[in-house]
């Protein structure tokens, strides 16, 4: 044990000293990072496609055949998760009747359609995460809602706003091409559709494509295997509440201990004959404290309560001043630490060095509490030691559970620490090998996360051709170019949702809700002004990119000090954030002011258009 890092944490009081040795902790974090760094970065993963395509197959719906469509709609929304649903809803509220929703899945829900693994819950408080609660007339049953409740809520939103009407599911957009003559987009799909739409909104999500570790021999394994985002209940039995009766006589491997692993492991542990959890980097596992919604509290809610609560949560996480913390959970109490990754307002009364010193001290204190919790909950000292995370709080997505750590006290659960080997060494026909040790298993469940491309328009999986047939990839060859992250010059009437050049927050649904409202407001304004296109001027785009650079907070040093993970491109990314650094509250204020300013930067009226054409 490392004495410098295990002394009792004391409150953050610079006068009395931190009660531990920061230099020793820094050194320990550096050692832990170094032993995990791999030269191959993201190259270590394999796509769940081609030979591994079966890992991405939809287990929830059989394919439904249909004839290709060649019709025309006013607005086409690619993506039926919360981003797409919110956009559809807000467009409807703005009076746009002809809206087509499109998704590869068999229904609405996005992440919550695909991910149905046992134990799935939202780790953000449901009252601020689940959108449009007041509009739909619903109060979640739990403080942190189970996945199925959230999926049903997505369906309820779609029903409430009539979004099933023209929806197409099990359909992937394969090309967007601007048709200058018709002033509309031609949308091609993998179903042979050639649809036309005046506006296209792309909300295809960021963590959607399951990825697998490129473990040598992965293709040799002959047992049963699947990815958590395509849980195979046909094999395991049970449902998202557990009861995995199919596993009672099975030796099961779970690979990965991120947010998903934390939620699934307790259920597999309960039901499997034996569970091996293959861990590379331990997650932080903080207090969850889930509980049913108090009916008296629900009855006392006044109109406008959800917006107020969402704004309050976002403000706290963004470092804004608030009178009260309405959520009061471990997200809000660790808000200061989160700004290392998700930037926001900072205390300018302190000089930057002093601020960094206090930030780091607060980080060490929280991480010491999290490590002490492992000792409190895990009986075997060696297992407890292996479960302790040694890095700064926001190096990885924070985790929460009141059941995960306890699962390792069960006789039928073994933690296999792979850190010294950079992960699993190889797989054989019958099991998993770490170093020299082989673990024969009947089933391997990959909780290994998702590809982290921005949306398909950036990664190239959805090719886009704008004015004059220019590919978006060419226009963005030196980096994405947008105004406020939403739209680009040369690509009229095309909107993007996502964090890129826009805002970011852990409660990303809140960001999506603001984006959806903004897009609907712009489309409505275009209609009112008789504008033919929504398209930013090149000057507006240049100015926005310059602003992003000017206000960027450089967190490259922090990222470089982190253990590898998707937050820092597996140890390779050193770039400053691509979102608006002053944070979402400031960004939403900026957008509101811009809208009030008349939106001239993007509305191209017929007379402007003629003038531009005349000027060549």
By the criterion CB under 6 A, which residues form the site for ligand NDP? 121-124, 207, 213, 215, 255-261, 278, 280-281, 397, 418, 423-424, 447-450, 565-566
- Token output for 190: 């993998």
3-class secondary structure, 482: coil
3-class secondary structure, 74: strand
Shortest approach of ligand NDP to residue 215 CB, angstroms?
Answer: 6
User: From the CB of residue 515, how many other CB atoms can be counted at a distance below 10 Å?
Assistant: 28
Write the Ramachandran bin of 370: left for phi over 0, alpha for psi from -120 to 50, otherwise beta.
Answer: alpha
> Between 210 and 490, whose beta carbon lies closer to ligand NDP?
210
Question: Cα(523)–Cα(254) distance, rounded to whole angstroms?
Answer: 47
CB burial of 406-433 (b: ≥16 within 10 Å; e: otherwise) equals ebbeeeebebbbbbebbbbbebeeebbb
Helix and strand element counts for the chain (H, E): 23, 21
> Between 9 and 210, whose beta carbon lies closer to ligand NDP?
210
Residue 257: alpha-carbon gap to chain centroid: 16
- Residue 184 has φ and ψ, to the nearest 5°, of -155, 170
Shortest approach of ligand NDP to residue 23 CB, angstroms?
Answer: 25
- Token output for 453: 């491309």
- Cβ atoms of 251 and 441 within 8 Å: the answer is yes
- Residue 117 has φ and ψ, to the nearest 5°, of -65, 160
Shortest approach of ligand NDP to residue 213 CB, angstroms?
Answer: 3
Shortest approach of ligand NDP to residue 563 CB, angstroms?
Answer: 7
Shortest approach of ligand NDP to residue 331 CB, angstroms?
Answer: 11
Residue 445 neighbours by CB under 8 Å, 6+ apart = 225, 226, 227, 228, 252, 253, 254, 255, 264, 268
**DSSP 8-state assignment for residue 601:** T
> Between 261 and 492, whose beta carbon lies closer to ligand NDP?
261
Shortest approach of ligand NDP to residue 123 CB, angstroms?
Answer: 3
> Between 313 and 544, whose beta carbon lies closer to ligand NDP?
313
Residue 110: alpha-carbon gap to chain centroid: 11
Shortest approach of ligand NDP to residue 102 CB, angstroms?
Answer: 23
Question: Cα(449)–Cα(446) distance, rounded to whole angstroms?
Answer: 8
> Between 156 and 262, whose beta carbon lies closer to ligand NDP?
262
3-class secondary structure, 440: strand
> Between 420 and 429, whose beta carbon lies closer to ligand NDP?
420
> Between 60 and 595, whose beta carbon lies closer to ligand NDP?
60
Q: Residue 454 class from Cβ within 10 Å (0-12 exposed, 13-18 middle, 19+ buried)?
A: middle
> Between 390 and 487, whose beta carbon lies closer to ligand NDP?
390
Shortest approach of ligand NDP to residue 122 CB, angstroms?
Answer: 5
Shortest approach of ligand NDP to residue 595 CB, angstroms?
Answer: 30
Q: How far is CA 406 from CA 108, 313, 409, in A?
A: 35, 30, 6
- Closest alpha carbon to 344 in 559, 569, 518, 503: 503
- Cβ atoms of 513 and 589 within 8 Å: the answer is no
Q: How far is CA 11 from CA 364, 366, 368, in A?
A: 11, 10, 11
CA dihedral 370, 375, 381, 383 (to 10 degrees): -40
> Between 367 and 483, whose beta carbon lies closer to ligand NDP?
367
> Between 123 and 184, whose beta carbon lies closer to ligand NDP?
123
> Between 18 and 205, whose beta carbon lies closer to ligand NDP?
205
Q: Hey, CA dihedral for 472, 478, 480, 484, is it positive or negative?
A: negative
Shortest approach of ligand NDP to residue 541 CB, angstroms?
Answer: 30
Shortest approach of ligand NDP to residue 354 CB, angstroms?
Answer: 31
3-class secondary structure, 433: strand
Shortest approach of ligand NDP to residue 288 CB, angstroms?
Answer: 11
Shortest approach of ligand NDP to residue 59 CB, angstroms?
Answer: 17
> Between 190 and 420, whose beta carbon lies closer to ligand NDP?
420
- Token output for 394: 């926001």
**DSSP 8-state assignment for residue 166:** T
> Between 486 and 566, whose beta carbon lies closer to ligand NDP?
566
Shortest approach of ligand NDP to residue 166 CB, angstroms?
Answer: 30
> Between 566 and 587, whose beta carbon lies closer to ligand NDP?
566
Residue with token string 């403000």: 315
Give the 3-state secondary structure percentages of the chain, helix then strand then coil, rounded to 5. 40, 15, 45
């Amino acid at each position: 044990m490392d004495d410098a890092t295990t002394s009792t944490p004391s409150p953050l009081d610079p006068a009395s000293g931190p009660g531990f040795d920061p230099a020793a902790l820094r050194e320990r974090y550096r050692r832990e990072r170094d032993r995990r760094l791999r030269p191959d970065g993201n190259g270590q993963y394999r796509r769940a496609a081609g030979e591994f395509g079966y890992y991405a197959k939809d287990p929830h719906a059989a394919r439904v055949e249909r004839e290709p469509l060649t019709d025309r709609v006013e607005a086409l929304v690619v993506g039926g998760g919360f981003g797409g649903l919110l956009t559809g809803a807000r467009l409807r509220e703005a009076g746009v009747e002809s809206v087509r929703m499109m998704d590869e899945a068999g229904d609405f829900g996005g992440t919550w359609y695909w991910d149905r693994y046992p134990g799935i819950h939202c780790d953000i408080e449901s009252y601020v995460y689940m959108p449009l609660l007041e509009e739909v007339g619903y109060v979640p049953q739990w403080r942190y809602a189970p996945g199925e409740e959230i999926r049903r809520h997505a369906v309820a939103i779609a029903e409430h706003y009539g979004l099933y009407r023209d929806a197409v599911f099990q359909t992937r957009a394969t090309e967007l091409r601007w048709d200058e003559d018709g002033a509309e987009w031609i949308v091609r799909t993998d179903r042979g559709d050639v649809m036309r739409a005046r506006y296209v909104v792309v909300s295809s999500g960021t963590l959607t494509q399951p990825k697998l570790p490129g473990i040598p021999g992965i293709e040799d394994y002959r047992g049963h295997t699947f990815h958590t985002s395509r849980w195979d209940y046909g094999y395991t039995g049970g449902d998202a509440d557990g009861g995995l009766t199919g596993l009672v006589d099975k030796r099961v491997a779970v690979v990965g201990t991120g947010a998903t692993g934390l939620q699934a492991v307790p259920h597999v542990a309960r039901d499997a004959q034996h569970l091996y959890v293959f861990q590379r980097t331990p997650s932080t596992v903080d207090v969850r404290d889930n509980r049913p919604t108090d009916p008296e509290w629900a009855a006392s809610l006044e109109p406008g309560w959800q917006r107020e609560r969402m704004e309050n949560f976002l403000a706290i996480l963004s470092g804004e001043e608030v009178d009260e913390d309405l959520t009061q959970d471990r997200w809000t109490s660790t808000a200061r630490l989160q700004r290392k990754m998700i930037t926001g307002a900072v205390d300018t009364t302190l000089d930057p060095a002093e601020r960094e010193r206090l930030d780091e001290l607060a980080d060490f204190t929280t991480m010491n509490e999290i490590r002490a919790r492992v000792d409190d909950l895990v009986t075997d000292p060696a297992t407890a030691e292996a479960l302790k995370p040694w890095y700064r709080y926001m190096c990885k997505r924070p985790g929460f559970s009141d059941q995960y750590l306890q699962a390792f006290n069960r006789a039928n659960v073994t933690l296999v620490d792979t850190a010294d080997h950079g992960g699993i060494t190889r797989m054989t026909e019958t099991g998993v090998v770490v170093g020299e040790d082989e673990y024969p298993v009947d089933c391997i469940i990959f909780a290994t996360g998702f590809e982290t491309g921005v949306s398909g328009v950036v990664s190239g999986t959805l090719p886009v051709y704008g004015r004059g047939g220019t590919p978006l990839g060419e226009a963005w060859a030196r980096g994405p170019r947008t105004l406020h992250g939403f739209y680009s010059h040369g690509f009229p009437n095309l909107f993007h949702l996502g964090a890129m050049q826009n805002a970011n927050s852990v409660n990303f649904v809140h960001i999506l809700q603001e984006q959806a409202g903004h897009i609907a407001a712009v489309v409505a304004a275009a209609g009112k002004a008789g504008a033919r296109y929504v398209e930013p001027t090149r000057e507006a785009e240049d100015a926005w990119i310059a602003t992003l650079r000017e206000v960027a907070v450089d967190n490259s040093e922090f990222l470089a000090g982190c253990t590898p993970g998707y937050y820092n491109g597996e140890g390779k990314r050193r770039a400053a954030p691509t979102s608006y650094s002053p944070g979402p509250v400031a960004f939403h204020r900026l957008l509101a002011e811009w809208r009030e300013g008349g939106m001239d930067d993007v509305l191209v009226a017929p007379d402007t258009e003629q003038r531009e054409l005349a000027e060549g």
